[in-house]
Amino acid sequence: MKRWGTRAAIVLVVLLALTAVVGQAATTSSNGRYKLGEMVLFKIEDSKVGWWGWGCCGSCDPCCSSCNCCGPTQVTGWYVASSSGQTVYSVAFDAAVAASTWQGSWGQVDLNGVAVAAGTYTLYVSTSVGTLSRTLTLYDPCCGSCGWSWWWGCSSCNQQASITTNCYCKTNLVLLEEPSTCCGSLFWWPCSTCCP
C-alpha cells in the first residue's frame, strides 16, 4: 500500500510539472504589464461574434455584402502615447498591411531611440475599421514595483481594445508576451533575470 502512495505522489509531481511547462508555452497574451526593457509585442485579431460565430456573417444576412463579411482588417500604423497624451513613438506605413500577417513590436524607446521611463503608456493601432488602444504599464522589477492590490484597482477606462461592426465581426488589439528566456521551474517559482 505504501508503494502505491509513493507512486501516486510521483505521478502527481510529474503531472504538475507538465502542466507548468504547457501553461508557460501556451501563454500568448499579456496583461499589459511589462518589465523595463522588455519587448512589447502586439497584433490585431479578427473574429466573429454572436452565437458561436453565427449571425450576420454566418447566415448571409442582407446586411452583408457577402457571406464572409468579416473582411481582412488592414493596419495603417501605430503609436505610443505617454500618460499625458504626448506621442512617444510612432510608425506609419506607406501602404496598409494585412492584420492577419502583421505583428508589431516596441522596444520601449522614444522617437530618438532613448529608453522610456517606467510608467503608464497607451498603445494605439490604426486599422481599416478604426483605432484600437490598450494601456501598457512599464515597471522596474528591482525598484518596488506595484503589487497585486494596486493592479486590481487599476482603471482601464478610455480604452478601445475591440471594435464590433454591424455584421457581427470583431477586431481586437491583442498584447503578446515576449518568448521567455527563463529556464522554468518545477513549482512555478519565477526565475529572476535581475536583482542578483
What pLDDT, on a 0 to 100 scale, did the predictor assign at position 122?
A: 97
Please give the domain boundaries of the chain with CATH numbers for all domains: 29-176 (2.60.40.1930)
What is the number of helices (H) and of strands (E) in the chain? 3, 9
Q: What is the pLDDT of residue 74?
A: 96
Give 103 or 171, the one with higher predicted confidence: 103
Rank 17-31, 97-111, 178-192 by mean pLDDT and report only the highest: 97-111
pTM of the entire structure? Answer: 0.60
Contact 34, 138 (CB under 8 A): yes
Mean pLDDT of 8-14: 63
What pLDDT, in 10s, does the model give residues 127-162? 999 999 999 999 987 654 333 333 333 444 557 788
Which grid coordinates are listed for 181? 528566456
Structure-block grid coordinates of residue 50: 454572436
pLDDT tens-digit profile of 88-125?
999 999 999 999 999 999 999 999 999 999 999 999 99
